[in-house]
Amino acid sequence: MIKRYSTKETDALFSEVEKMRRWLEIELCVVEELASAGVVPPEAAAACRSHAPTIDEAFVARVEEREAITNHDVAAFVDVVQQAIGAPHGTWIHYGLTSTDVVDTGLCWALRDASEHINSALTELISTTVDLASNHRATVMMGRTHGIHAEPTTFGAKIALFGLQLVRDRERLRRAMENISVCKLSGAVGTYSNITPDTESRVAARLRLVAVPATQVIARDRHAEYLFACASIGTTLETIAVELRHLQRTEVNEVREGFSAGQKGSSAMPHKRNPISSETITGLSRVLRANAQVGLQDVALWHERDISHSSAERIVLPDSSSLALYMTRRMNKILANLEVDSGNMLANLQKLNGAVFSQSVLLRMVENGMTRDDAYRIVQDAAAISFNTGTHLREVLAQNSSVTLSAAQLDEAFDLQRVLQHAGRAIDALLAAAK
C-alpha cells in the first residue's frame, strides 16, 4: 500500500522481514515437532533453533540474491537458512514440506493478525457511534428520501443505524478471521505423504492456528471471504461518508468535518471547508470492492494447485488489510470530531412549512372515514398551495372545508414528538449490540 494510506501495523505485518520471520518460525516448529515424533534427531532440532539466523534486512537481501539464481523465493529462503545453520543439522529444515505449506500458513497467520487490528479499530469506531448517537438522541432533523424532504427523524437514529451496520461488519470480519486462521502442512498435493496430520496439528496449535485438510494450497474461498469482509467494512464506511458529504453541502449545512488549526480547504479559495476525509473514504472503498472481486477470481485453481492466485494476492491481501484498518480509523476520527449544527437541522426541517407531516394528516383523515385516495388528493393539493404561497400546511388544511379534522386532531397530526416517539429504538438496539 502506498504510504499515504498505509498503517504502521500492516506495513510491519506484510513486510519481507516479518514474512520471512513467520516462515522461519514455521520451519523450526516443524523440525521440533518431527523431533518429538522421533523423525528428526533431538540434537538437530536444538541446533536448528539455536543457530537459526536473525531475520533482518540483511537476511532478506541474501535471500533475494539467492532467488536471482533459484527463481523460487521459498527455495532461496530455505537455502539461506540451511547455510546459516550449517550441515548436518540444517539439512532438516523444510523436511517433508512443500513451499505452499510455509507460504500459506504464514499468510494465514498474517491475515489473522491483520484481522485482530481491524477488529480493534471497528470496536473503537462502534463505541464512537454509540456516544454520538446517544448524545443526539433528541436532535431533530429532516429525514430524506431520494434527496427530498420526507419525514422528521433524529440525528441519533441516523448514526445508530450506521453503528448497527458496523456491528454486522464486525461479525462478518470475525467469521472471516476464524476461517482464515488455519494451517496446512500436508505436503505436495496435500496427502500427508511425509508429514503426519498429528504433526501438522501440533504445529498449528503452537501458532494459534487450526490445521485443515487441503490440496497443495489452502482453499481460496477463505481468502475471498476475508477480502469480502474488508470490502463490506469499506462499503459501510462509504455509506456513512456519502451521507456526511451530503449533509455538509452549503445548501444543507447540518454537519461539518472537523477543521484543524492551520488547515486549508482550498489552495485558491480561503473560505472553503471541504469534506475531504469522507471523499477519501468514498474513493478507497472502490479499491476494496475491486480487490474482493480479485479474491473471488482466485478461488478456482487448476487441479491440486497453480500459482495464478499468488501474484494477485501479493497485492490485494496486504492492500485490503491496510485500507480496511486505515479507513476505519479515519472514519473514527471524522465522527469523533464531527461538528453537528442542530439549529440548522431544525431550520431545514421547518423549510417546507409543515408539509413533512402530510402522511400524519392523511392517516388522521382515513381514521375519520375518508377513502385513502380522496384524503391523499386533498392533502396533496393543500401541500401544493403551501409550497406556492409559503403558508403553513396546517393553516391551509384548517381553511379547507373538505378537511373534517378537528383542531385537536390537526394538532396531533403536526405533533413532532408523536412522530419521533419511537425514533430511539435504533439507539437502544445499538447500545445492546455494541456490548
Q: Name residue 151's beta-bridge partners.
A: none
List, in order of start, the domains of the chain with CATH numbers.
Answer: 1-95 (1.10.275.10), 98-257+272-351+420-435 (1.20.200.10), 355-413 (1.10.40.30)
Other CB atoms within 10 Å distance of the CB of residue 351: 10
Q: Name residue 148's beta-bridge partners.
A: 145
Query: 281 pLDDT band (50/70/90 cuts)?
Result: very high
pLDDT tens-place string over residues 115-160 = 999 999 999 999 999 999 999 999 999 999 999 999 999 999 999 9
207's grid cell:
501458532
pLDDT of amino acid 430: 97
What average pLDDT does the segment 306-330 reach? 97
Query: 261 pLDDT band (50/70/90 cuts)?
Result: confident
What average pLDDT does the segment 334-347 reach? 97
The catalytic residues are 146, 266
Say how many CA atoms lie within 13 Å of 262 toward its Cβ.
0
Q: Which residues make Cβ contacts (< 8 Å) with residue 429, sequence separation at least 6? A: 160, 164
What average pLDDT does the segment 96-111 reach? 97
Q: Give phi and psi for 241, each to the nearest 5.
A: -60, -45
- CA 221 to chain CA centroid, nearest Å: 18
Percent of the chain with pLDDT over 70: 100
Q: Please, what's the b/e burial string for 180-219 (b: 16 or more CB within 10 A of its CB; e: otherwise)?
A: bbbbbbbbbebebebbbeebbbbbbebbebebbebbbbbb
Closest CA to 282 of 225, 229, 323: 323
Percent of the chain with pLDDT over 90: 95
Indicate the length of the chain as a whole number.
435
